[in-house]
Amino acid sequence: MTVVWWVVAVLVAAFTLVRLFGLERGTPLVQLMAFTPYVAGGALVAAAAAAFTSITAALVTAAAGLALAAVVIPRAIPKRPGARGGQRLRVMTANVLWERGDMTALLQLAKTDDVDVLALQEANTSDLETFDRAGADGLLPFRALHPAPRGRGTAVFSRHPLDGEPVVRVCPSGIQQVRATVLVPGAGPLVVESAHPCAPHPGGKTSCWARDLAEQPLVGDGPPRVLLGDFNATLDHAPLRRLLRRGGYRDAAAERGRGLVPTWPYAVAPGPLRLFAVTLDHVLVDRRIGVREVAVRPVPGSDHRAVVAELRIPTA
């Protein structure tokens, strides 16, 4: 039994080193990093069990588990909300799983949460037509749309007018992210982009995933910016952490202690997989923007849950 616990200790220690130093490359390391919170908890349980057989193996496992916990737990601790002033703006992001998400139910969610800006991923023409038939124009009349097949389309809907023409960013993977400038009353322009880096499927697509994340827009000196979307990455993935650090963003859910609330997979996913759901959907905000509340909502038919955030946009 001692050998078994030493194997566990070595595996957990190796996993911890990969996570702490951002060394994940290719399959299966990229995919496994998403489950870091579960590994942290499992490591501490394994350390307690190993203590009955091998104290040294237990200590190694416990040290690795505590190191993982140290990077995971802060996401569950609310930080100062900041920006008590500023203009209130409620945003939502939802992956609608191309033609399987219930667009009527999604519109009702947006109404209930009093959403001002809604970003969609995996939206095709049929989804957007259904959304309009459900009455989207009455709540969110201004829009920047770029529907596309096979989950490549994105869209931004807004209660407030948009400034200029939408801009479409084509990621290295071919996914098309639409960007719009929302004219927020009392706060001026806000740049909003519906983000959807490709998923890190086994094989060469993990490098494509990393490139998509690396080419997300940086904040810069212009108007405040928000990235809303299904990033196909958790905060345990080095490319997403680099985007936060270098791009000038904060993760809204982590700011409010909701950073461990999972968003995928749900609904169409097999039951056992849902036991290990992870946080792939994010609202990333410019550091000038305050975050007051964050919540997660189910979207019938989709395998993702929507993320809703109440923001405070600095006044002009």
Please report which helix (H) or strand (E) contains residue 95, including its range. strand 87-95
CATH for 87-313 is 3.60.10.10
Position 269 scores a pLDDT of 62
The predicted structure's pLDDT at residue 82:
56
3-state secondary structure 273-294: HHCCCECCEEEEEECCCEEEEE
The residue ranges of every structural domain in the chain are 2-76, 87-313
Read off the pLDDT of each residue in 89-113 and give the average, rounded to a whole number.
Answer: 96
Helix (H, G, I), strand (E, B) or coil at 209: helix
Q: What share of the chain is helix, strand, coil (3-state, %, to 5)?
A: 35, 25, 40
On whether the pTM is more than 0.85, the answer is yes
User: pLDDT tens across 170-179, in order?
Assistant: 888 888 899 9
pLDDT digits (tens, 9 = 90+) for 43-62: 999 999 999 999 999 999 99
pLDDT score, position 271: 66
Residue labelled with tokens 């307690």: 48
Model confidence at 139, pLDDT cuts 50, 70, 90, reads very high
Between the CA of residue 208 and those of 211, 212, 214, 254, what are the distances in Å? 5, 6, 10, 26
Element holding 225 (H helix, E strand): strand 225-230
pLDDT at 267 > cutoff 80? no
How would residue 81 be classed by pLDDT, with cut points 50, 70 and 90?
low
For residues 297-309, average pLDDT: 96
Using the predicted structure, report yes or no on whether residue 316 has a pLDDT greater than 80. no
Angle at 16 between CA 21 and CA 242, to 5 degrees: 35
**Looking at per-residue confidence, does 280 or 206 come out higher?**
280
**Directed axis angle between helix 36-50 and helix 2-21, to 10°?**
150
Q: Enumerate the β-bridge partners of residue 311.
A: 89, 291
Contacts of 196 (CB under 8 A, 6+ apart): 95, 121, 122, 151, 152, 154, 171, 175, 177, 229, 230, 231, 232
pLDDT-derived band at 199, boundaries 50, 70, 90: very high
